[in-house]
Structure 1
Amino acid sequence: MTWTANFVTLAILFLWRVEEIAEACSCSPAHPQQAFCSSDVVIRAKLVGEGEVDVGNDIYGNPIKRVKYDIKQIKMFKGPNQDIDAIYTAPSSAVCGVNLETNGKEYLITGKLESDGTMHVTLCDFIEQWEELSATQKKSLTQRYEMGCDCKITRCTSIPCVLSSPAECLWLDWVIEKTVNGKQAKHFACIKRSDDSCAWYRGSAPPKREFMDIEDP
């Protein structure tokens, strides 16, 4: 094979790797309820340690590095019947790794459960310091979010936005407040009603299962 051919081959492999990394880290912002419903594990935990570990080899035989955060689980809102004592993430944000503080900070952490029982997190998961969550978000973790997991939350990015189904809630934080951490993210949940349609619910008390209209506290 000529030098030119070798160079072209290496260039293609490099571009393929860049595209693979970019694709791996591509994700749209999610409402906290969406993050809850799509995650295998949702926990409140305190981070107590950090270190880099090998978790195997890639297809080329190169070691795969992961950052391991040792945690003290405070409460599990969703997940397996076991305590989680560590979470794993990629070593840099370029490959969706999450950088967290280990000075005793408490976090709400959502993530995926691997077949070996370990919990992995990425930049696409909803991870927030516990003290930054609203009272409604904290209470919704125990009942309200789960009640709306059959609903679809659609993020509106520009006007006009329309609903395609009665079992859908329109998320307007971005067009109204130019942030995905606005009022609907902090204070609302999309709940299925008795007629199988879905609507936003606001409040800190658990909603009535048979409610038909949006209710305030």
Structure 2
Amino acid sequence: ILRETFKKLPPEMIETNFQVRGKVVEFALILPNGKRLPIDSKWVAGKLILALERETDQQKKKEIIEEVEKEVMRRIKEVKQYIDPDLTWSQAIAAVPDSVYAVCKNAHLKAREENVILMPYSMVLPLLLYIYRFHLQYAISLDLESLQNHLIAIAKNLEEMENILENKIYRGATMVSNAYLEYKQLISRIKSSIEEIKLKGSKEVKKLK
């Protein structure tokens, strides 16, 4: 479906079979700064949609919707792997059939947490045009954008480190409690530094507008 949609765009705006981290994503929007916005539109659970359309029992329809959303969640995790601070924008797009998008309740929040934009097929073209125009009009320098993307990745890693401290080290070994507290303080300082850099970066972006 999207292949036909993208024929409406200039060839230099869309790349097919874009490779990132050893994986291939169907499409990518080529942004003005040379980076790519990964776009995945594969949907393999067509039988679930057909079953949902035919089902009349409300309880069974609810069960099918739950299965549909589980499949969407799985797709979101897969699409997240296409994000690379050196090659791509800080987000990726997971496009799904309009009928799938309409029944999702929790997947939108999950997508946001994973820096994935979940959207129906019918909205892909308008959004891509908006994103491209936005980048063209308010272009951020390549170095600054790369910095912002890496800061996002660092912040996520710090969250994982903190979870490990909470769930494994602190609970499993009281003898390292002092090290635990020091570690927590260091993480807090790093997070504060990251927020300061992001804030300064945002101010620089505003100056460019």
TM-score, structure 2 normalization: 0.27
Per residue, is there more helix in 1 or in 2?
A: 2
